Amino acid sequence: MAGKKAIRFTHPRDVQKFLGKLINEVRRGETEPASASKQGYLANMMLDAFKQAGPDESQVDAAKDIHARLEKMDDVDGLN
């Protein structure tokens, strides 16, 4: 495994992309199923860590922005 590039997971999408690539490697015979199983297990642990960490700041900011926009729309429509 020496010389392999480090994998960085900064978002759950990164794990999703990794798993998709891993599945394709197994199907093409480039990765042994036993190795893929271990990597998949570790990737699933990473997904669990993301879930436990909760949303990141950009997601919280986006949710606040959407909420503020919806409130403005309600004010314009006379719903508030």
Range of the domain at 26: 12-77
Is 33 part of any domain?
yes
Per-residue pLDDT of the chain (80 residues), as tens digits, is 566 778 888 888 999 999 999 999 999 999 999 999 999 999 999 999 988 887 777 666 767 777 777 777 766 655 55
Report whether 49 contacts 66 (CB < 8 A): no
> So what's the pLDDT on residue 18?
94
Is 30 part of any domain?
yes
How many domains, the chain?
1
Structure tokens given for 4: 């392999």
| pTM of the predicted protein model | 0.63
Residue found under tokens 């190795």? 35
Q: Which residues, 6 or more positions from 15, have their beta carbon under 8 angstroms from its beta carbon?
A: 9, 43, 46, 47, 50
